Copies of this chain bind each other. A is one copy, B any other.
Amino acid sequence: MMNKEQYMASLQKLHPIIYCNGKRIENVVEDPMTRPHVNSAAMTYELACDPAYENLMTATSSLTGKKINRFTHLHQSAEDLVKKVKMLRMIAQKTGTCFQRCVGLDAMNATYIVTHKIDRECGTNYHERFTNFMKYVQENDFMVAGSMTDPKGDRSKKPGDQVDPDLYVHIVEKKKDGIIVRGAKAHQTGMVNSHMMLILPTTNLGKNDKDYAVACAIPVDAEGVTHIFGRQTNDTRRLEGDIDTGNSEYAIVGGETLTVMDNVFVPWEHVFMCGEYQYAQEYVEKFASYHRQNYGGCKVGVADVIIGATATMAEYNGCPKASHIKDKIIEMIHMQETMYNCSLGCSYEGTKTEAGTYYVNTLLANTVKLNCTRYMYEISRLAHDIAGGFIATLPYEKDLKNRITGPLIKKYFAANPNVTTENRIRMARLLENMTGGTALAESMHGAGSPQAMRIMLYRETNIEGKKKMAKQLAKIKED
């Protein structure tokens, strides 16, 4: 396992092409725009080396028997699924934001199951290849970006029917030693500070979409790969100082890219699906359900910080005992613990797959994320309510530090006499940044949009069974 420093050093050996705000980022570890994202991900390395967190952060490899970082682990039990959730909540309490590494973890676990099935049914040897890849990842303690979401182009058309064939990643050519792929993946969390990306399909595919049925692993700095870093709410504040950005150490959300693959070569040993379109749907569902499970972990940890910041703001404002404030904080707790509870439930109800690993309960996992798409907004709303109008009109950090305006701000934004105005502003800025724009949108669309969960909830429910129960009680006889 790597520690934090080793992880950072390892990133500096890579040379991905990353654009951000019109310029190339040469060093993701040092660049102020990406550094906080690196710090978040680094937490997954740091804590794994801390004996206090060994139980949650590490596991014993089912492939090598060695102690590994849990983020490279293939789940061997329902308990492993539960530990994932608890680990995610715990790390998020320390970063207050996305630490990115679960996407790859979920992609790897989904791939392990699906390659096993394809091989069994089609006689291919993807599973063996992938098992070797997993060993390689575990041994190097790589951070792997799970790369699923294609740009999708015209939503009313399937991949093979798009005017521009590149709007979903596809196989351009099969060669003796590997394949050439082309296209892009959007919304790629953690990509700029990963070592590898694991490509998988984004939707169910039909016969005409055969070339789009591709799964493979690619180094982030492979030839032909270009990353364009997305912008987030208030992101450039971090160029100005450490207060206004709120969570200056770890940023607010994951840091996503549009990652373009312009005829990238992938050797066969890193190809895990190549044309078996009929497995795309299961692949997507497996990955999505694993990933939806997470939101009752990481977002609940984020909510821990939001609730803590809110309770602190009430105190800093001088009104921590007001009954309506306590009531709103209870409501926030109720929502976060409902999400957490759902994540635990769907994990404990996980079952063994034919590949030998464990998979969450699909129906229950989808409730987790659907709750999240509502509750994180509601938690943010209540946080705003308690924090006060202050969070919308705070002066600039530079004005706080200015010789003339600084003393005025300190004088006039003082509240609770035991708290410095700077601390009050710091807490307000943390809250402002954790509850706005990109952070909310991420709670909505990460791991799939609400409608995707709703479709799954219906599909996984036995409606006919429920009808029978009702007819039985209503004493209805039908032929």
The answer to whether A231 and B396 have CB atoms under 8 Å apart is yes
Contact of A457 (CB < 8 Å), options: B157, B230, B337, B348: B337
**Per DSSP, are chain A's interface residues mostly helix, strand or loop, or mixed?**
helix
- Nearest CB of chain B from residue A128's CB, rounded to whole Å: 34
Decide: B476 and A423 in contact? CB cutoff 8 A: yes
Q: When the two chains form their complex, are residues A445 and B389 in contact, meaning their CB atoms are under 8 A apart?
A: yes
Residues of B near A315 (CB, < 8 A) are 467
Asked if A200 is at the interface (CB within 8 A of a chain B CB), the reply is no
B residues near A370, Cβ cutoff 8 Å? 334
> How many Å from the CB of A347 to the closest CB on chain B?
8
Stretch at the interface among A15-23, A63-71, A205-213, A282-290: A15-23
Quick one: which of A262-310 are within 8 Å of B by CB? 304-309
A308 to chain B, nearest CB (A): 3
Q: A253-B392, A364-B337, A450-B385 are in contact. Are A463 and B415 (CB under 8 A)?
A: no
Taking a contact as CB atoms under 8 Å apart, the answer to whether A260 and B395 are in contact is no
Closest chain-B Cβ to A338's Cβ sits at a distance in Å of: 5
Tell me if A46 counts as interface (CB < 8 A to partner B). Answer: no
Bits for A444-465, please: 1 = Cβ < 8 Å to B, else 0.
1110011100100110010101
Beyond A337-B457, A381-B377, A427-B474, whether A393 also contacts B436 by CB under 8 A is no
CB of A373 within 8 Å of the partner chain = yes
Q: Give a binary string over A403-440; 1 marks a CB under 8 Å from any B CB, 0 the rest.
A: 01100110111111100000100110110100111101
Contact stretch, chosen from A2-10, A113-121, A131-139, A320-328: A320-328
Residues from chain B with a CB closer than 8 A to the CB of A404 are 19, 226
Closest chain B residue, CB of each to CB of A304: B466
Q: Does A83 contact B (CB under 8 A)?
A: no
Q: How far is the CB of A40 from chain B (nearest CB, A)?
A: 11
A375-396 residues at the B interface, CB under 8 angstroms: 377-378, 380-381, 384-385, 388-396
- Whole-angstrom distance between the alpha carbons of A186 and B411 in the complex? 12
Flag whether A374 is at the interface (Cβ < 8 A): yes
A153 at the interface (CB under 8 A from B): yes
Q: How far is the CA of A409 from the CA of B341 in the complex (A)?
A: 40
Number of copies: 4
**Which of B152, B256, B308, B454 contacts A334, CB < 8 Å?**
B454
Shortest Cβ distance from A363 into B: residue: B337
**Most B CB atoms within 10 A — which of A248, A305, A381, A475?**
A381
Contacts of A461 in B (CB 8 A): 333
User: CA A311 – CA B465 in complex, angstroms?
Assistant: 11
Q: How many Å from the CB of A471 to the closest CB on chain B?
A: 7
Bound together, the chains give a CA A415 to CA B308 distance in angstroms of 40
Distance (whole angstroms) from the CB of A446 to the closest CB of chain B: 7
Task: Given A337-B364, A367-B337, A404-B19, check contact A330 B466 (CB 8 Å).
Answer: no
Asked if B187 and A392 sit within 8 Å, CB to CB, the answer is yes
**Contact, CB under 8 Å: B164 / A411:** yes
* A285 shortest CB reach to chain B, Å: 17
How far is it, in angstroms, between the C-alpha of A399 and the C-alpha of B253 when the chains are bound? 20
Measured CB to CB, the nearest residue on chain B to A157 is B318
Contact A466 B151 (CB under 8 A): no
Give the CA-CA distance A382 to B364 in the complex, in Å.
21
Inter-chain contact B228/A408, CB cutoff 8 Å: yes
Closest residue to A436 on the B side, CB-wise?
B437
Q: Are A444 and B260 in contact (CB under 8 A)?
A: no
What's the Cα separation between A174 and B123 when bound, in Å? Answer: 77
CB 8 Å contact bits of A227-254 with B (1 = contact, 0 = none): 0111111101100001010111110010
24 contacts between A and B (CB under 8 A): A22-B399, A94-B469, A96-B469, A153-B414, A154-B415, A166-B412, A186-B390, A226-B404, A226-B408, A256-B393, A258-B395, A258-B413, A260-B408, A304-B465, A304-B469, A306-B470, A324-B454, A327-B327, A334-B370, A373-B385, A385-B449, A391-B441, A392-B437, A423-B478
